[in-house]
Homo-oligomer: A and B are copies of this chain.
Amino acid sequence: MPEGASAPAVPAVIGDSEFDRDTAVTRRAPGVYDIDLSAGWTIISAVNGGYLLAVLGRALADTLPHPDPFTITAHYLTASHPGPAVVRTETVRTGRTLSTGQASLYQYDDHGNEVERIRVLASYGDLADLPDDVRTTAAPPAIPPLERCFGAEDGPAPVEGSSAIADRLMLRLDPSTLGWALGAPSGKGEMRAWFGLADGRDADPLSLLLAVDALPPTAFEIGLKGWVPTVELTVHVRHRPAPGPLRISITTRNLAGGFLEEDAEVWDSEDRLVAQSRQLARVRLG
């Protein structure tokens, strides 16, 4: 493994890891969950959108009779900050194989009033119940082996300021999507990386919600600088991921009018397309 990137001697496990502790919600009442949003999943000062989606996803998993998000959409309304938050969930419909729910995350203004940060609409099912019929025609991304990819520790910090999330992740970028970090963006809206959690915890359906929003923006490779805030993010979780690192490939093909889309595919160690997502994000042009 690359120097400085050794897996911990005893890897964390699903249920007992940084990700689980930092996305844990405490049920105060039916449909009401408290959490202290961690400062450990920020990029510069912004709390990562995928981490936030995983928090909401965990609350919904507790509320609904089905455990796994099959399709989950979030609209990001106002910027979240580390600190106290409350998630309020609603059961929209329960069915035999699918249930639908809604959830909102709120934080508090200076007067203690709740301000909505994110609203989510999602349908859940049980991935374990799906037939094992796979006719996927998509193919895993062409990404070099992990040891030939590069992480933050391999070079100077490409962005100023705190990127606490970098310490939570094992992220190794494809060198062909790293030009931005060396002042030479490729001009192509692509980003590819190997992805895992720094404490060694394997992926699960909830951590896939983090994974799809954990890579640097494709905008950087297009040559744009600055923040690319997510307006909306929709994730389809299609299969429980196998243990081991994930490969994530993100593509942007429609940068226009001050917006762009990022399409992410997440592949597991068994070459399964375990999640697909699309987000609509705002860019600063020029």
Contact = CB atoms under 8 A, between A and B. Distances in A.
Interface of A: 70-71, 73, 75, 77-78, 92-93, 98, 100, 102, 116, 119-123, 127, 130-138, 188-189, 222, 231-232, 234, 236, 238-239, 252-259, 261, 272-273, 276, 278, 280, 285
Contacts of A138: 253-254
B135 A236 contact: no
A253 B138 CA distance: 5
Contacts of A133: 256-258, 285
B136 A70 contact: no
**How often does this chain occur in the complex, in copies?**
2
A73 B278 CA distance: 12
Per CB-CB distance, the 10 closest pairs between chain A and chain B, nearest first, are A130-B257, A138-B253, A71-B232, A73-B73, A135-B255, A134-B256, A121-B121, A77-B93, A71-B280, A234-B234
A276 B261 CA distance: 9
A276 to B, nearest CB: 6
A98 B257 contact: no
Nearest to A232: B71
Given A130-B259, A236-B278, A238-B254, 17 more contacts: A70-B259, A71-B75, A77-B93, A93-B116, A98-B231, A123-B232, A127-B257, A130-B258, A135-B222, A135-B255, A232-B234, A234-B278, A238-B257, A239-B256, A254-B276, A261-B276, A276-B278
Contacts of A222: 135
Contacts of A102: 119, 121
Contacts of A70: 231, 259, 280
Contact of A131 (B73, B137, B285): B285
Contacts of A273: 253-254, 256
Contacts of A130: 256-259
Nearest to A121: B121
Given A239-B256, A253-B136, A92 B119 contact: yes
